[in-house]
C-alpha cells in the first residue's frame, strides 16, 4: 500500500491543508485512507477536518530511579549519561533532571550495583478518529516535554498496527515543518513526497532544502504550489528550483478565501465548496498523487 509524505520546509506553507484535503478527496473517490499527523508539536489535522479524536495510547519513556539502599555513589551513571540528565555530586545520590533524560538506559547498563530501577515519564500520547472515510492517527507531544521523536515513532507504530487489522489503499503522512530528524522519520521509505511551497523567497529557500533532503533519502518527490497566485509572488523562482531538481509541479492551489474559511469552520475545502477553484485543484492533486504513488490499480 503506497505511503505519501506531505512536507514543506517551513511551517505554514499549507502542509496540513494539502494533507487533509488530499486525504478527504481520495476518500471521496472510494479509497480507504489512513492519515497520520506526524507534526507532534502542533497536530492540527483533526481541526482541519472538524473531527474529534480519542486518546488511544500513552507514550511513556524510561526514567531512572536510584535506589538509595543500593547506590554506592560511584558516579558511573552520570559519566555515562550524555545529555547530563544525571549529575554526580561527591558523597550524594546522583541528581536527576528528568526533562533532559532521553530514556536511553545507559545509566542502568553501567551501574555496577544494580541501583537503578525503571521509572516512567509521560512524553505524549496517540489520538485516533474515524470520519469522512478516513482513519486519522495523530501523535501529540506533552507540552513542556522536549523529546518529540519517540511520540512520533509510537504514532507511526500504532498506525502500522492498524494496517495489519484492516487494509488501507493509501497512507498519507503530514510531517512536521523543517528538515530535522522527525521529518526524516516521516519521509523515509515513503513512495512519494509532496513538497508544499508558496511563491515567496522563503518558500523557494525552504523548498530547496526539502528537495535536497528527499533526494538524499531517495524518495520520489513532487511539488505542490500553494497560494499560487499570491500578489507579488515569484512562481517562476519555484519553477526554476523544481526543474533544477528534476521535480514536477503537480498542482497549483489558488489563493482562495474559501481555503481560509475552511480552516475557520474546520471543514475540508471539498466539503465546504466542492465546485470552487481550490477544490478543483485538490482533485487534480489527488489524481496526480494516485498516479505517482503507483496506486492507479485501485481505481480500475
Partner 1 sequence: MKELVVVSGKGGVGKTSIAASLAVLLSRKLKVTAADTDVDAPNLAIVLGADVRRELDVRSSEKAVVDVSKCTGCGKCVEVCKFSSITLAEGKAVVDRLACEGCGACSIVCPTNAISIVQVKTGEVGVADTEYGFKLVSGHLEIGEANSGHVVTAVKWLARRKAEEEGADLLIVDGPPGIGCPVIASLAAASHALVVSEPTPAGAWNLTRIIQVINHFKIPFMLVVNKWNLSPQYTTALEAIAKQGGGELAARIPVDYTIAEAMAMRKPVVAYKPEAESSKAIAKLADIILERLS
Binding site for ligand SF4 (CB under 6 A): 62, 64, 66, 71-77, 80-81, 83, 85-86, 94, 101-107, 111, 113, 115-116
Q: What is the x/- site pattern for partner 1, positions 198-217, by CB under 8 A?
A: --xxx--xx--x--xx--x-
Which DSSP string do the residues of 152-190 spell out, in sequence order? HHHHHHHHHHHHHHS--SEEEEEPPSSSSHHHHHHHTT-
> Do 201 and 191 meet the contact criterion of CB atoms below 8 Å apart?
no
Name beta bridge partners: 61.
121
Instruction: Choose the contact partner of 254 out of partner 1, ligand SF4, none; CB within 5 to 8 A by kind.
Output: none
Least distance from ligand SF4 to the Cβ atom of residue 93, Å: 7
The DSSP code for 208 is H
Among 2, 18, 48, 278, indicate the residue that binds partner 1 (CB under 8 A).
48
Region of 259 on the Ramachandran plot (φ > 0 left; ψ -120 to 50 alpha; else beta): alpha
Residue 104 interacts with partner 1 (CB under 8 A): yes or no: yes
Residue 189 interacts with partner 1 (CB under 8 A): yes or no: no
Instruction: Choose the contact partner of 202 out of ligand SF4, partner 1, none; CB within 5 to 8 A by kind.
Output: partner 1
Helices 15-28 and 277-292: angle between axes, nearest 10 degrees: 80
C-alpha cell at position 139: 501523535
Residue 69 burial by Cβ neighbours in a 10 Å radius (0-12, 13-18, 19+): exposed
Q: Output 70 or 84, the one with its CB closest to partner 1.
A: 84
In angstroms, rounded to a whole number, what is the distance separating the alpha carbons of residues 294 and 37?
A: 22
| Stretch of residues binding partner 1 (CB under 8 A), selected from 10-18, 114-122, 268-276, 290-298 | 10-18
Q: Output 151 or 292, the one with its CB closest to partner 1.
A: 151
| Stretch of residues binding partner 1 (CB under 8 A), selected from 52-60, 128-136, 194-202, 283-291 | 194-202
Residue 185 interacts with partner 1 (CB under 8 A): yes or no: yes
Nearest CA to 111 out of 155, 66, 152, 145 is that of 66
The DSSP code for 250 is E
* CB-based contacts of 54, cutoff 8 Å, min separation 6: 127, 128, 129
Q: Output 29 or 87, the one with its CB closest to partner 1.
A: 87
> Do 73 and 92 meet the contact criterion of CB atoms below 8 Å apart?
yes
Least distance from partner 1 to the Cβ atom of residue 30, Å: 28
Residue 62 interacts with partner 1 (CB under 8 A): yes or no: yes
Residue 122 interacts with partner 1 (CB under 8 A): yes or no: no
Q: Report strand pairing: 221-225 vs 249-252.
A: parallel
Least distance from partner 1 to the Cβ atom of residue 22, Å: 17
| Stretch of residues binding partner 1 (CB under 8 A), selected from 23-31, 89-97, 104-112, 282-290 | 104-112
Residues near partner 1 (CB under 8 A) are: 9-14, 16, 39-42, 44, 47-48, 50, 62, 80, 82-83, 102-106, 109-110, 141, 143-149, 153, 176-181, 184-185, 188, 200-202, 205-206, 209, 212-213, 216, 230-234, 260-261, 263-264, 266
Amino acid at each position: 500500500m503506497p505511503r505519501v509524505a506531505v512536507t514543506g520546509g517551513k511551517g505554514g506553507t499549507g502542509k496540513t491543508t494539502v494533507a487533509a484535503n488530499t486525504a478527504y478527496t481520495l476518500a471521496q473517490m472510494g479509497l480507504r485512507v489512513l492519515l497520520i499527523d506526524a507534526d507532534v508539536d502542533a497536530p492540527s489535522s483533526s481541526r482541519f477536518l472538524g473531527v474529534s479524536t480519542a486518546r488511544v495510547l500513552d507514550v511513556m519513556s524510561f526514567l531512572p530511579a536510584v535506589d538509595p539502599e543500593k547506590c554506592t555513589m560511584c558516579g558511573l551513571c552520570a559519566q555515562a549519561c550524555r545529555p547530563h540528565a544525571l549529575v554526580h555530586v561527591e558523597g550524594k545520590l546522583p541528581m536527576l533532571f528528568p526533562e533532559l533524560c532521553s530514556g536511553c538506559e545507559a545509566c542502568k547498563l553501567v551501574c555496577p550495583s544494580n541501583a537503578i530501577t525503571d521509572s516512567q515519564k509521560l512524553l505524549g500520547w496517540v489520538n485516533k478518529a474515524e470520519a469522512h472515510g478516513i482513519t486519522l492517527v495523530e501523535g501529540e507531544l506533552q507540552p513542556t516535554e522536549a523529546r518529540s521523536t519517540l511520540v512520533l515513532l509510537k504514532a507511526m507504530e500504532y498506525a502500522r498496527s492498524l494496517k495489519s487489522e484492516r487494509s488501507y489503499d493509501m497512507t498519507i503522512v503530514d510531517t512536521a515543518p523543517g528538515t530535522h530528524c522527525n521529518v526524516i522519520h516521516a519521509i523515509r521509505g515513503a513512495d512519494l513526497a509532496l513538497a508544499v511551497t508558496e511563491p515567496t523567497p522563503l518558500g523557494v529557500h525552504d523548498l530547496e532544502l526539502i528537495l535536497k533532503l528527499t533526494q538524499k533519502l531517495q524518495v520520489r518527490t513532487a511539488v505542490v504550489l500553494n497560494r499560487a497566485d499570491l500578489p507579488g509572488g515569484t512562481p517562476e523562482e519555484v519553477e526554476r528550483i523544481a526543474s533544477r531538481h528534476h521535480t514536477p509541479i503537480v498542482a497549483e492551489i489558488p489563493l482562495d478565501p474559501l481555503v481560509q474559511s475552511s480552516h475557520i469552520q474546520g471543514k475540508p475545502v471539498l466539503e465546504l465548496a466542492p465546485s470552487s477553484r481550490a477544490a478543483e485543484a485538490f482533485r487534480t492533486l489527488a489524481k496526480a498523487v494516485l498516479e505517482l504513488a503507483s496506486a492507479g490499480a485501485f481505481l480500475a
